Amino acid sequence: MNADTDRPAFLLVHGAWHGAWCWDSVRAELDADGRRSHTVDLPSANPPGGRHDRARPVGMLDDADTIRDSLRRIDGPVVVVAHSYGGVPATEAIGDAANVVGAVYLAAFQLDVGESMFTFLGAPVPDDGTGQAPPYEDSRRILFGDASQADADRAVARLRPQSVRSFTEPVTTAGWRTVPSSYVVCDHDRALEPSRQRELATRAGSVHRLPSSHSPFLSMPRQLATLLGGIATSTMARPGQG
């Protein structure tokens, strides 16, 4: 089988405070399986030039545009894998992308039209959405609880402030309504409660589980890569969902 033409590539979309770097271990495992993968740096956490533009803060819709641009550069079918907050702009972007054949929500916000991350969580929307949200004070425990100390320390050191606007902008297009979707529940997650993940997963076409904390791309990249490969194979074998 020619992996470049017969199997979909992956576009891996990181969550809040992160960057494309968080997928490095998973990409190595996917590459070992002969699967193509691509990443994207969302401007809400990685603004151009490394600085947040306070006059015009980037938000979720800017992130969605960045995902669309990345999809246009990938030849052949694509499965978009979105982690945590990344599920919001991915949902916005995939509906009108002709080459997307599936979406995987990894402990992610699979939101519907009119919902933002804050409204889904029941968090108060700030009057001024131009600021930045720092990472958790205890990111080591909340985000990377089952990763090795060394891996977690390196990851924490690379976290960046996140645009508040990205958390407050509502979804205008729910791409999962037309693109086959799968949800991966992380059973020991301390950032997004597994019960809330299972609630979101009712919107997906299939549901899977990992015995991980919020960031299995760091703690169990081999298991995650194997699961993604299986989801991609089954996605290509089943008809689209409406």
- Whether the Cβ atoms of residue 201 and residue 207 lie closer than 8 Å to each other: yes
> Given this structure, which CATH class describes domain 3-237?
alpha beta
Cα(178)–Cα(170) distance, integer angstroms: 19
Phi, psi angle pair for 182, to nearest 5° = -130, 150
Ordered by start, the domain boundaries in the chain are 3-237
- Encode the chain (242 residues) as per-residue pLDDT tens digits: 344 557 899 999 999 999 999 999 999 999 999 999 999 999 999 876 555 555 668 999 999 999 999 999 999 999 999 999 999 999 999 999 999 999 999 999 999 999 999 999 998 877 666 789 999 999 999 999 999 999 999 999 999 999 999 999 999 999 999 999 999 999 999 999 999 999 999 999 999 999 999 999 999 999 999 999 999 998 766 654 44
User: For residues 113 and 174, is the Cβ–Cβ distance under 8 A?
Assistant: yes
Counting every residue written for the chain, the total comes to 242
Spatial distance between the Cα atoms of 196 and 219, rounded to a whole number of angstroms: 21
Residues 65, 90 contacting (CB under 8 angstroms): no
| Residue 182 near residue 108, CB atoms below 8 Å | no
